[in-house]
Amino acid sequence: EDQVTQSPEALRLQEGESSSLNCSYTVSGLRGLFWYRQDPGKGPEFLFTLYSAGEEKEKERLKATLTKKESFLHITAPKPEDSATYLCAVPTYNTDKLIFGTGTRLQVFP
Amino acid sequence: DGGITQSPKYLFRKEGQNVTLSCEQNLNHDAMYWYRQDPGQGLRLIYYSQIVNDFQKGDIAEGYSVSREKKESFPLTVTSAQKNPTAFYLCASSLQGKDGYTFGSGTRLTVV
């Protein structure tokens, strides 16, 4: 069964304290892995797409990496405005339907 | 600017009522989706549509109905058969799986 698991559920960081969020997946024939940011009461905002193991993408303080079993979202020197829930998702086999993990709720304190 | 518009932002429903959530996109995307989000749970797929006049049930379709009469519009009706409708509803669209989905800003439905 296709599945996406994110850890940790919640993460509290001091401003400037770097860390990583994990997304492990089980899917037949990976056709992409997507990272989103979601602020409270809003829709998810697209961050990255990764298509193959070894691929990396960066945006400001965020860097996403992909292996054959998992993806990491690395946050370098985070700021309070990085506080949000981060979601990852993969398309199910042979369809465009995305299955989502339950997310990691990140809080960055000054 | 292109995007997805969901309305209303907040909706209150009395027991036994049907309510309809609106979702409109001007991105010229073929596929549209409805997800439900509950605290502590991932997004769960309700219905999706890949072309006009065609749609498929997702994982939790019971108590919901949709229509896709126009490419731009994919309204969701929450019927009285949905026993626990209080949730945050998200509409999304995609260009046949390229670069994931674009999401709307959501509708929070509360049963009163």
Pairwise CB contact (< 8 Å): A96 & B104: no
Summary mean pLDDT of chain A: 94
Please give, rounded to a whole number of angstroms, the shortest distance from the CA of A47 to a CA of chain B: 10
Radius of gyration of the CA atoms of chain B, in A: 13
d(CA A77, CA A65): 17
For chain A, the residue count is 110
The contact set of B with A (CB < 8 A) is 4, 6, 31, 33, 35, 40-43, 45, 48, 50, 58, 88, 90, 92, 94, 96-97, 99-106, 108
Tens of pLDDT along chain A (110 residues) come to: 889 999 999 999 999 999 999 999 998 888 899 999 999 999 999 999 999 999 999 999 999 999 999 999 999 999 999 999 999 999 887 777 889 999 999 999 99
Q: Among B90, B74, B60, B64, which residue's Cα sits nearest to residue B32? A: B74
Q: Which of B6, B101, B105 sits opposite A98 (nearest CB)?
A: B101
Q: Which residues of A touch B (CB under 8 A)?
A: 4, 31-32, 34, 36, 41-46, 49, 87, 89, 91, 96-103
The Cα-based distances of A62 to A79, A90, A92, A103, B104 in angstroms read 11, 19, 26, 16, 23
Mutate to test the interface with B, among A97, A104, A105 (most CBs of B within 10 A): A97
pLDDT, tens digit, 9 for 90 and up, residues B19-32: 999 999 999 999 99
Chain A interface, best mutation among B49, B56, B103, by max A CB count within 10 A: B103
CB contact under 8 A, A43 and B99: no
Closest alpha carbon within chain A to B5: A43
